[in-house]
């Protein structure tokens, strides 16, 4: 690829947006997402209609609530003229993509086998990079109009109503699902840091000297403890001013990924078994299906790709800088994912836990530090994905009951506290890290990363798309949809089975 997209102008004219819609490049390379600014009417991709756009998520009505524009690293706050470089874009993409999903890759290999795991991970990475290009190339029209959010792009191409329903529900699924998953992740990481003998055995049987019931009870209370921290943080007005959250997320994920690779490599002694994991045929097949969703969970950066591209200065055209940043990011992602996946599975084989850090046993002090890093990372990420929900609720109240606007700060604790309690209750009810990741990956990231980009490209470009590319897009969209469907089935079945045998301790 020479950096110029097929069928799209690289003209440098860029629509000047309001200051709240653009992000200035900062020396600390942070990223934040705008959740509340009004959007100016823009020219549609379709010549048949002109649709005005506003930030929204919860309703088809374009005057409704703001949409969710987010990243696993931090909120994106656009202000002033776009000034970021391709290096910023690469850093933000790494932060948005690399997260706790990397710790589950060795476990997926134990069901997909060496060949299946490596091939599927490589294929998913290649398709993810390609669909990133499709979104990046659609960001700016030939007229210079820039589409700065996923839902905005979908509405421009598919129309107001269809665009909302194609993206809005998926974004809500991602937010709620990730908040629950992060509750579970934090709980089991805190438990592992405090009681390593419970690691990986919270529902499958005794762990060391701890009984099945004791480990389950311990996990419940660690989730509760984490929820109290989130209850306090949720009372903050917003995260727009906490610019360092992106740096914290990037550092934590880089550190615990490096520790997972290094400790797994150190424990390799050639004795691990790579035979098929135990369990009847049905259990094995559904775990394979669930593993498909876990792989997809690892590629969730598309949810914020357009927000990142919106921060890029021109010239050159945004797609040129974005692709340079993506190439840089995917080099880092390639080494991180394959290093942890290969080292973890090589060291532990079919005995690896859903979170590889729960399998590593030495040095114990370093593993405890790594688990604390995971907690810090998901603690910040939980707020990132919860704050859009809070803002959507408060924007809805202000729109529907203007007289109540002045009272919103007084009662903010009520609905924010209720959301914390809801996600904590769901996490305690279904504390299954791997199954939750597979479900969120299938329902949320599969559409946004693998299915929608080819569809949007075909719709936007129409008959100008070459036949070979049209068939490639059909294959990607259909195959990804089928894989996502199987992953939903496998994840739901695993959750139901595990709930039936899990001890809900007090």
Q: How many Å is the Cα radius of gyration of the chain?
A: 22
Contact of 146 with 310, CB cutoff 8 Å:
yes
Q: Is pLDDT above 60 for 19? A: no
Phi-psi bin for 61: left (phi > 0), alpha (psi -120 to 50), beta? beta
Give the single-character DSSP code of 21.
B
**Residues contacting residue 272 through CB under 8 Å, at least 6 positions apart:** 346, 347, 348, 349, 350, 351
Tell which residue, 64, 66, 86, has the closest CA to residue 20: 66
Q: List, for residues 180-218, the tens digit of each pLDDT value.
A: 998 999 998 898 888 776 655 444 433 334 445 566 667
The confidence band for 246, taking pLDDT boundaries of 50, 70 and 90, is low
Q: List, for residues 221-235, the tens digit of each pLDDT value.
A: 899 999 999 988 887
The confidence band for 291, taking pLDDT boundaries of 50, 70 and 90, is very high
SS3 assignment for 136-168: HHHCECCCCCECCCHHHHHHHHHCHHHHHHHHH
Q: List, for residues 375-388, the tens digit of each pLDDT value.
A: 988 887 787 778 77
Better pLDDT: 346 or 84: 346
The confidence band for 75, taking pLDDT boundaries of 50, 70 and 90, is very low
Q: Which residues face 312 on adjacent strands?
A: 84
With tokens 């840089």, the residue in question is: 328
Q: Give me 32's structure tokens.
A: 């934040």
Q: What pLDDT score does 473 carry? A: 95
Q: Is pLDDT above 80 for 30? A: no
165-169, 205-209, 259-263 — which is least confidently predicted? Answer: 205-209
Q: List, for residues 87-132, the tens digit of each pLDDT value.
A: 878 877 887 788 788 999 999 999 999 999 999 999 999 999 999 9
Q: What pLDDT score does 485 carry? A: 95
Averaged pLDDT, 286-312: 86
Tell which residue, 205, 195, 345, 193, has the closest CA to residue 277: 345
Distances (CA, A) of 473 to 251, 298, 301, 454, 481: 36, 21, 19, 5, 12
Torsion of CA 302, 377, 293, 176, to 10 degrees: -80
Angle CA 315–319–325, to nearest 5 = 95
The confidence band for 404, taking pLDDT boundaries of 50, 70 and 90, is low
Q: Is pLDDT above 90 for 395? A: no
Give the single-character DSSP code of 465.
S
Structure pTM? 0.74
Q: What pLDDT score does 449 carry? A: 92
Alpha carbon distance 482, 299 (integer Å):
17
Q: What pLDDT score does 260 carry? A: 92
Helical H runs in 64-104? 86-97
Contact of 309 with 325, CB cutoff 8 Å:
no
Q: What pLDDT score does 399 carry? A: 74
Q: What pLDDT score does 503 carry? A: 67
Q: What pLDDT score does 6 carry? A: 40
User: Mean pLDDT over all residues of the chain?
Assistant: 77
Q: Which domains does the chain show, CATH number per domain?
A: 86-501 (1.20.1740)
Better pLDDT: 107 or 308: 107
Entry field: residues in the chain: 506
Q: Could you tell me what percent of the chain has a pLDDT over 90?
A: 28
Write phi, then psi, for 484 (nearest 5 degrees). Answer: -65, -40
């Amino acid at each position: 690829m020479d950096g110029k997209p097929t069928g799209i102008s690289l003209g440098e004219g860029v629509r000047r947006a309001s200051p709240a819609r653009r992000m200035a490049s900062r020396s600390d390379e942070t990223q934040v997402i705008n959740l509340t600014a009004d959007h100016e009417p823009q020219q549609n991709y379709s010549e048949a209609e002109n649709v005005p756009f506003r930030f929204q998520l919860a309703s088809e009505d374009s005057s409704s609530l703001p949409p969710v524009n987010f990243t696993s690293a931090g909120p994106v706050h656009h202000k002033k003229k776009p000034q970021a470089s391709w290096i910023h874009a690469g850093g933000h993409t790494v932060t948005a993509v690399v997260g706790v999903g990397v710790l589950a890759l060795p476990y997926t290999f134990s069901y997909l086998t060496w060949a299946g795991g490596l091939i599927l991970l490589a294929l998913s990475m290649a398709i993810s990079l390609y669909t990133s290009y499709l979104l990046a190339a659609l960001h700016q029209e030939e007229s210079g109009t820039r589409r700065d959010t996923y839902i905005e792009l979908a509405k421009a191409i598919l129309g107001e109503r269809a665009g909302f329903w194609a993206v809005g529900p998926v974004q809500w699924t991602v937010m709620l699902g990730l908040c629950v998953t992060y509750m579970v992740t934090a709980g089991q990481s805190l438990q592992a840091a405090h009681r390593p003998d419970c690691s990986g055995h919270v529902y499958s049987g005794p762990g060391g000297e701890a009984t099945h019931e004791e480990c389950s009870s311990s996990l419940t209370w660690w989730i509760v403890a984490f929820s109290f921290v989130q209850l306090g943080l949720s009372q903050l007005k917003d995260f727009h001013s906490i610019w360092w959250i992106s740096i914290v997320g990037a550092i934590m994920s880089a550190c615990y990924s490096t520790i997972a690779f290094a400790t797994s490599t150190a424990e390799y002694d050639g004795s691990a078994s790579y035979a098929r994991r135990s369990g009847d045929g049905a259990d094995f097949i559904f775990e394979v299906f669930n593993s498909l969703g876990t792989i997809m969970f690892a590629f969730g950066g598309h949810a914020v790709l357009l927000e990142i591209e919106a921060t890029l200065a021109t010239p050159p055209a945004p797609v040129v800088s974005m692709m340079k940043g993506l190439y840089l990011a995917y080099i880092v992602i390639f080494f991180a994912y394959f290093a942890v996946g290969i080292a973890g599975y090589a060291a532990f084989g079919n005995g690896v836990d859903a979170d590889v850090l729960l399998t590593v046993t030495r040095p114990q002090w370093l593993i405890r530090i790594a688990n604390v890093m995971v907690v810090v990372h998901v603690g910040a990420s939980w707020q990132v994905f919860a704050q859009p929900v809070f803002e959507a609720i408060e924007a809805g109240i202000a729109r529907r009951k203007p007289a109540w606007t002045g009272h919103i700060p007084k009662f903010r604790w009520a609905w924010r506290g209720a959301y914390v309690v809801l996600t904590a209750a769901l996490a305690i009810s279904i504390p299954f890290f791997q199954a939750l990741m597979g479900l969120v990956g299938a329902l949320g990231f599969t559409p946004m990363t693998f299915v929608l980009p080819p569809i949007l490209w075909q719709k936007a470009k129409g008959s100008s798309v070459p036949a070979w590319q049209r068939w490639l897009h059909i294959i990607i969209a259909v195959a990804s949809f089928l894989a996502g469907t199987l992953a939903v089935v496998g994840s739901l079945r695993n959750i139901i089975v595990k709930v039936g045998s899990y001890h809900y301790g007090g």
